[in-house]
Amino acid sequence: MKINKPWGNEWIWAKTDRYVGKILTIRQSHRLSYQYHNTKEETIYLMKGEMDLEYEENGVRKTLRLKEGQNFHIPPRMKHRMIAVTHCQVVEVSTPELDDVVRLEDEYGRTKPS
């Protein structure tokens, strides 16, 4: 199932009651929401391109440059965002809670007003 997003698209290639597999295509210079998940746990693998992963650790926002072949584990409640330095393809494997997204910042107007 392919889902168009303002930053590119995601293709869900596996969905069970225990896990979900996706491929995200992120256009160059686009950024996903700065977000976290209450329950959902993810591991991402950068298949193609180069991206910056913004994340928060111990209350400090950090940026990690990922290159092809590198991965990163995102536990529940870790604030994070993917930023495509070049056109990217990302494999994401996660627990199945697809609607568990709390957007803190979003360039496409998808955060709820406080």
Per-residue pLDDT at 110 exceeds 90: no
**What is the DSSP code string of the chain?**
-EEEETTEEEEEEEE-SS-EEEEEEE-TT-B--EEE-SS--EEEEEEESEEEEEEEETTEEEEEEEETT-EEEE-TT--EEEEESSSEEEEEEE-S-TT--EEEE-TTS-SPP-
Instruction: Kindly report, residue by residue over 38-47, the tens digit of the pLDDT.
Output: 999 999 999 9
Map out the domains of the chain with their CATH numbers. 2-104 (2.60.120.10)
Instruction: Kindly report, residue by residue over 26-80, the tens digit of the pLDDT.
Output: 999 999 999 999 999 999 999 999 999 999 999 999 999 999 999 999 999 999 9
pTM of the predicted model as reported, rounded to 2 decimal places: 0.92
